[in-house]
Amino acid sequence: MKTHINIGQLGSGYWGPNLIRNFSKISQVNKLIVCDTDKDLLRKASSQYPTIETTKSADILLSDPSIDAMVIALPAALHFEYTRKALLADKHVLVEKPLAMTTDESKELIEIAKNKNRILMVGHTFIYNSAVRKAKQYIDNGELGDIYYIFSQRLNLGRVRQDVNAMWNLAPHDISIINYWLGEVPSKVMAKGVSFLQEGIEDLVFIHLNFSSGKSAHIHVTWLDPLKTRKMVIVGSKKMLVYDDVSTDSKIIIHDKGIDKSLKDNFEQEVYDYASFHLNNRIGDILIPHFDFDEPLKSECKHFVDCVLSGKKPLTSGEEGLSVVRVLEEAQNCLERDNIRV
């Protein structure tokens, strides 16, 4: 059994340096070779991390038998092409979100990984976030009661993309978190979006998800908002939880609030209707739990290396990536059927 691996990384742009920083610190990574067509980016990466090697040729990395795994940090439209090439070259793969741009592409990648016996992992970084996992504990142990709905906002002023809309850029995070929290995938997807800056590229998108269990979720994403917001609210029958990723000291707040339903006094009918009940507001304590918080990307990168060395299935596997792409694809279909342009 191998104890160390060699990694090739495609892309050193916006997110690439964060991956380089984390992989270069993992003791089980024997060698890290970074590829980019921009020589200035490679020069900057080499100056910051002297232990890495660089190349401008992706083919050199893909054909190198000493490279055990590939990290794909390219624009979303290139994820399928280069993940496919890497898997066919017998490399394990960590690909940034989304896994691909269609469900058919995602399924093909999963099938290739299975046939080649390779690890396929998607960079849904927030699943490795301590606060997200803490919220999952509160849901699973029944602290919040029955979950009614989840409301998520991921807002910012820029960075405006030209290759994908705000939904494909931002919503994969929220969808992956919601699926993880609820332990199920949506049965129905609806979406509305508006293009303000570039025709056909939505700057503002609302997504509504229905689940077969009766739960629902609403996602609001945009890169046209004055405030940076990364907030999710879970409303349960017992308590409500607010997860604020921007906060430094209160990423999770538990509100002992809700609406209690009780039978009216002296009501003896066996068939109950709406008028039979009192609906009373309940306001209790507020709890800000303490928990250790580590950089999510650090945990993600370490998890990928562990999976490659051990052969275990990643938490954010290809199948998990497919479940997110399915939602995005159906939401995109909604946008194209009813696209509003200003």
Model confidence at 267: pLDDT above 70: no
pLDDT given at position 257? 84
Cis peptide before 133 (omega within 30 of 0): no
121-165 pLDDT, tens digit per residue, is 999 999 999 999 999 999 999 999 999 999 999 999 999 999 999
Which pTM value belongs to this model? Answer: 0.92
Q: Which helix (H) or strand (E) holds 29?
A: strand 29-35
Helix (H) or strand (E) holding 133: helix 130-140
Check whether 341 has a pLDDT greater than 50: no
Q: Does the structure show a pLDDT above 60 at 269?
A: no
Task: Please give the share of the chain, as a percent, with pLDDT higher than 90.
Answer: 87
- What Rg, from alpha-carbon coordinates, does the chain have? 22
Taking the C-alpha atoms of residue 277 and residue 111, their distance in angstroms, rounded to an integer, is: 53
Domains and CATH numbers, the chain: 5-124+296-318 (3.40.50.720), 127-294+329-341 (3.30.360.10)
At 272, is the pLDDT very low, low, confident or very high (cuts 50, 70, 90)?
low
pLDDT at 33 over 60: yes
Q: How confident is the model at residue 277 (pLDDT cuts 50, 70, 90)?
A: low
**Average pLDDT rounded to a whole number, residues 322-333:** 97
Pick 337 or 126 by higher pLDDT: 126
Identify the band that residue 117 occupies on the pLDDT scale cut at 50, 70 and 90.
very high
Q: Range with the lowest mean pLDDT among 46-60, 104-118, 119-133, 251-265?
A: 251-265
Cβ within 8 Å of residue 11, ≥6 positions away: 35, 36, 72, 73, 74
Are the C-beta atoms of 176 and 232 separated by less than 8 Å? no
> Which amino acid, 231?
K
pLDDT in tens, 297-322: 999 999 999 999 999 999 999 999 99
**Which pLDDT belongs to residue 288?**
95
Q: How confident is the model at residue 60 (pLDDT cuts 50, 70, 90)?
A: very high
Contact 137, 130 (CB under 8 A): no
Contact residues for 305 (Cβ-Cβ < 8 A; gap 6+): 5, 23, 26, 28, 29
| Mean confidence (pLDDT) of the chain | 93
pLDDT of residue 279: 72
